[in-house]
Amino acid sequence: MSTPQNNVSETNNNCPAITKGDYLITTDRAKMDIGFIHHFLSTEAYWCKNIPLATVQRAIDHSLNFGVFHHERQVGYARIISDFATICYLGDVFIIPEHRGKGLSKWMMEQVMTHPDLKGLRRWILLTRDAHELYKQFGWKTIAHPDRWMEIHDPNAYGN
Query: End-to-end CA distance of the chain, in Å?
Result: 47
Q: Which residues pair with 89 in a beta bridge?
A: 81, 125
CATH class of 7-148: alpha beta
Band (5; pLDDT cuts 50, 70, 90)? very low
Domain ranges of the chain: 7-148
Band (15; pLDDT cuts 50, 70, 90)? low
Interval 137-141 mean pLDDT: 95
Q: Is the pLDDT confidence value at 56 over 80?
A: yes
Q: Is the pLDDT confidence value at 12 over 50?
A: no
List all residues 6 or more positions away from 37 whose beta carbon is below 8 Å from its beta carbon.
Answer: 56, 60, 74, 77, 92
Q: What Rg value do the Cα atoms of the chain yield, rounded?
A: 16
